[in-house]
Every structure is written in structure tokens, then in C-alpha cells.
């Protein structure tokens, strides 16, 4: 059985496509000789050289713009923004440019770029280095957004992201980099197809990113009480696999949605609203949403732990059904 960690899986997918296709290149701060923050691009500079693995100055607006302009003219750039928080420095290039060019130009342009956006809290990095901004990205027509929770999904989704002719926002949780998992399939995972991480018949838990693992932990805890959670990881936030959730609800009739974002106006609210609008009849109880507290990420370790959502929150919510 082949195993890989999340970090290596992301790198492997980038390398596979770079070996096959000269038009794929990687840009970002420290991605070259240094091997990327958290070692994520280690060895790529040596294999592909400085023309294709390009260190950039600290200039997020120009980095994202370089992806937009090169994608518009025949390349397939991947950019590493180090932290999703730093994307905000160049957000115009994502929201006003990358997302809208195809449309504004009447479909005359293609935008095959991938923005790698390490994200999430739990590392003591405080308010400007811990955010989860799924709702920001999924709100914008023209962007696709994916968020793998396992090495297998990271590999398959990265292959698809690179193959895609649209701007794909690739969220990667920093605390998952060392997570090891089985790799059984080297094929792309189509965007918009969710995955049932654990089958169950009592409650549907929709979880993204690191929260998938919290949901699995909750499922273990509740299994002792004879409650079977079905854990669904949508993997891709847009396009989104609503059918998988609806099918699960037909069985369970109860839903808990957990994301790491501040709960207010989180992506979980969109899922919850869609369930209410389209699948109200499937529900026996109101949908429960779980997220981080509506505060900036605090630095102090006990506070940060208190701030982040976790398995125990799911367990408490399920016990109230």
C-alpha cells in the first residue's frame, strides 16, 4: 500500500503535471531554493529549474496578477500565497480580474490558474495568520474553490485544479501537512464530487478541511452510544455536491454542518440555507451549524483552543437532537 502525507501529495500532483506539460509553472515567495514554506515545494527547484519554479519578491498583488496575465496568454500557472490571509493583499487580482475576465470578455479568454492558499488556525499564529475564508471565495462567481482533507484528495484535487481552465482556489490546512494517508488512485478527482468519509444512518455531518477529522473523531465517540454519523466531505466547495447531502438526509433526516470559519456568514450558512430552501421536507430537526467563534483568532493557546470548533461541539449538538 502506498502512503503519503498531505504535503507530499500536493507536491506530487504539481510535479506530475509539470513533467507532462511545459506550460505549467509555479510561482511564490520562497518556493524555489528554500523549498517553500513548510517544505511543500522541496526538490521542485532542483527538478524543474528557476524558469519554472520561480521565487517572487514579496508582492502579492503582482504575484496574483502574474498568474492572471500568464493564464490569459497560454500558461497554466500555480501560485503559492503562503497564507490565505496574504491573498487579501492582492484580492483585486482574484475577485475583479481572475474571476471575471472570461465573462467580461464574452467568453473569449481562458483562466487556467491555481492559487494555493494554506489556511486555518491552531498553530498559535494569531489573527492575521489563521483565517478560514471559504465564504469569501465561494461568494464570487467565476472562482472554483476546493479544500482537501486527506492526502488522496489533495493529490486528486490538485491534478484537477491544474487541468481546469478556470481559476481554482486551492485551500490547504496547515495542520494537515504532516497527516499521512493511503494513496490508492493517481487519477484526478473531478471537482464537484463529494466523498462519504464514513457511512452512517443517524445524522449527516457535513465537514470541510481539518474539520473532517473532527467529525470522524465525533463519529468514533458517538459510536459508543450507538449513534451512527455519516460524515460527508464535499471536497469541492464550488462546484458543490448537493446531491450527496440530499441523499444522505433522506436516510438520516438530521444535519450538522461544521467548518472552521467564523460562524457568521460562513460557507456552512450557504449549505444550511440550500437545505432549508430545497430539502426542507427531508428534515426532522433544524440544521445545526458549527464554526469558530465570531472573533478574530486569538493568540493565547487556551483561548485559541476555545475559539476553534471541534469534535466535542459535534457530539454536544448530536446529543441534543
Ligand X SMILES: Cc1ncc(C[n+]2csc(CCOP(=O)(O)OP(=O)(O)O)c2C)c(N)n1
Dig out the grid coordinates for 27 from the structure.
Answer: 510561482
Does 298 bind other proteins (CB under 8 A)? Our answer is yes
Dig out the grid coordinates for 121 from the structure.
Answer: 488556525
Are residues 130 and 120 in contact, defined by beta-carbon separation less than 8 angstroms?
yes
The C-alpha angle with vertex 100 and arms to 96 and 105, in degrees rounded to 5, equals: 125
Does 307 bind other proteins (CB under 8 A)? Our answer is yes
CB of 262 to ligand X, least distance (A): 21
Q: Of residues 86, 136, 267, 307, which one binds ligand X by CB under 6 A? A: 86
Q: Under 8 Å CB-to-CB from 7, ≥6 apart: which residues? A: 38, 39, 40, 177, 178
Taken as a whole, the chain contains a residue count of 321
Does 38 bind other proteins (CB under 8 A)? Our answer is no
How many Cβ atoms from other residues are within 10 Å of residue 316's Cβ? 12
Does 58 bind ligand X (CB under 6 A)? Our answer is yes
The residue (of 36 and 192) whose beta carbon lies closer to ligand X is 36
Residues 120, 174: Cα–Cα separation, whole Å: 6
Are residues 108 and 64 in contact, defined by beta-carbon separation less than 8 angstroms?
no
Does 119 bind ligand X (CB under 6 A)? Our answer is no
Q: Is the link from the previous residue into 227 a cis peptide, with omega within 30 of 0? A: no
**Position closest to ligand X via CB:** 86
Annotation marks residue 129 as catalytic: yes
Q: Which of residues 109-148 bind other proteins (CB under 8 A)?
A: 123-129
- Sites of contact with other proteins (CB under 8 A): 29-30, 32-34, 55, 57-62, 85-86, 89, 123-129, 263, 290-296, 298-303, 305-307, 309, 313, 316-317
Residues designated as active site: 129
- Sites of contact with ligand X (CB under 6 A): 29, 58, 60, 82, 86, 89
Amino acid at each position: 500500500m502506498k502512503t503519503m502525507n498531505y504535503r507530499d501529495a500536493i507536491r506530487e500532483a504539481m510535479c506530475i503535471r509539470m513533467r507532462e506539460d511545459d506550460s505549467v509553472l509555479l510561482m511564490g515567495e520562497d518556493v524555489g531554493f528554500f523549498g517553500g514554506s513548510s517544505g511543500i515545494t522541496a526538490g521542485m527547484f532542483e527538478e524543474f529549474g528557476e524558469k519554472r519554479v520561480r521565487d517572487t519578491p514579496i508582492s502579492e498583488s503582482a504575484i496574483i496578477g502574474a498568474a492572471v496575465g500568464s493564464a490569459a496568454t497560454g500558461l497554466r500557472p500555480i501560485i503559492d500565497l503562503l497564507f490565505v490571509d496574504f491573498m487579501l493583499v492582492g484580492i483585486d487580482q482574484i475577485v475583479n480580474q481572475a474571476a471575471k475576465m472570461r465573462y467580461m470578455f464574452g467568453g473569449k479568454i481562458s483562466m487556467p490558474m491555481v492559487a494555493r492558499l494554506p489556511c486555518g488556525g491552531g498553530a498559535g499564529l494569531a489573527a492575521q495568520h489563521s483565517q478560514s475564508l471559504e465564504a469569501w471565495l465561494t461568494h464570487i462567481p467565476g472562482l472554483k474553490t476546493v479544500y482537501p482533507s486527506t492526502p488522496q484528495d489533495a493529490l486528486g484535487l490538485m491534478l484537477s485544479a491544474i487541468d481546469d481552465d478556470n481559476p481554482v482556489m486551492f485551500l490547504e490546512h496547515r495542520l494537515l501537512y504532516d497527516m499521512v494517508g493511503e494513496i490508492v488512485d493517481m487519477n484526478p478527482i473531478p471537482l464537484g464530487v463529494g466523498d462519504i468519509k464514513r457511512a452512517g444512518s443517524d445524522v449527516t455531518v457535513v465537514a470541510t478541511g481539518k474539520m473532517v477529522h473532527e467529525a470522524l473523531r465525533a463519529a468514533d465517540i458517538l459510536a459508543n452510544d450507538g449513534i451512527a454519523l455519516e460524515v460527508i466531505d464535499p471536497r469541492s466547495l464550488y462546484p458543490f455536491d448537493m446531491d450527496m447531502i440530499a441523499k444522505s438526509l433522506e436516510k438520516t433526516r438530521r444535519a450538522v454542518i461544521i467548518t472552521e470559519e467564523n460562524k457568521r456568514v460562513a460557507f456552512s450558512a450557504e449549505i444550511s440555507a440550500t437545505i432549508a430552501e430545497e430539502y426542507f421536507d427531508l428534515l426532522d430537526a433544524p440544521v445545526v451549524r458549527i464554526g469558530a467563534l465570531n472573533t478574530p483568532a486569538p493568540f493565547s493557546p487556551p483561548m485559541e483552543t476555545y475559539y476553534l470548533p471541534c469534535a466535542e461541539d459535534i457530539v454536544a449538538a448530536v446529543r441534543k437532537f
